[in-house]
Copies of this chain bind each other. A is one copy, B any other.
Amino acid sequence: MVKRTSFERDDCPIARSLDAIGDWWSILIIREAFFGVSRFSEFQKKLGLAKNILTVRLRALVDQGILKTAPASDGSAYQEYLLTPKGRGVFPILVALRQWSEEFDAHPEEIATILVDKEKGRPVRKLELYSQDGRLLGAGDTTLKPRLAGKQSKRAYS
């Protein structure tokens, strides 16, 4: 990924997430895993990325505990890559990315799929952020506080 200042030691959680899954392929691999893709060759066929890159990405995702390898499942001797709880936790990020594109993309008519709830088959609502007492929050209604008590941060999501 080109010599990058790793954000691993950054104290911003956004930067830390990006450090883990902030490249194109990692997120798309996780997306495919949600679709049920689990084998090396399947990932490669669906995503069309170079196999060496896939090798590196899969290994990194396993190292980070986002995917785990299981010895088999369909009887074949090959291993498969499955989402861990941490990997499944990426779901809201995928939904957020999807909804942003649905709302703001310049050519929404080219988007092929809609996320619907399985039971009723109807589109889901937008992701919603609530305060602990149940108020719906927008960007302007939130601010950042240092984790360890102390004084209010000046940095606010305006």
Contact = CB atoms under 8 A, between A and B. Distances in A.
Interface string A124-158: 11111111110101111111111100001101111
Interface string A102-131: 111110001111111111111111111111
B36 A113 contact: no
Nearest to A16: B101
Interface residues of A, number: 89
Given A7-B24, A92-B99, A113-B153, 10 more contacts: A14-B27, A17-B100, A20-B101, A22-B22, A95-B129, A112-B146, A120-B133, A124-B132, A124-B137, A128-B130
Interface of A: 2, 4-5, 7, 9, 11-18, 20, 22-24, 27-28, 31, 34-36, 48-49, 65, 85-86, 88-106, 110-133, 135, 137-147, 152-153, 155-158
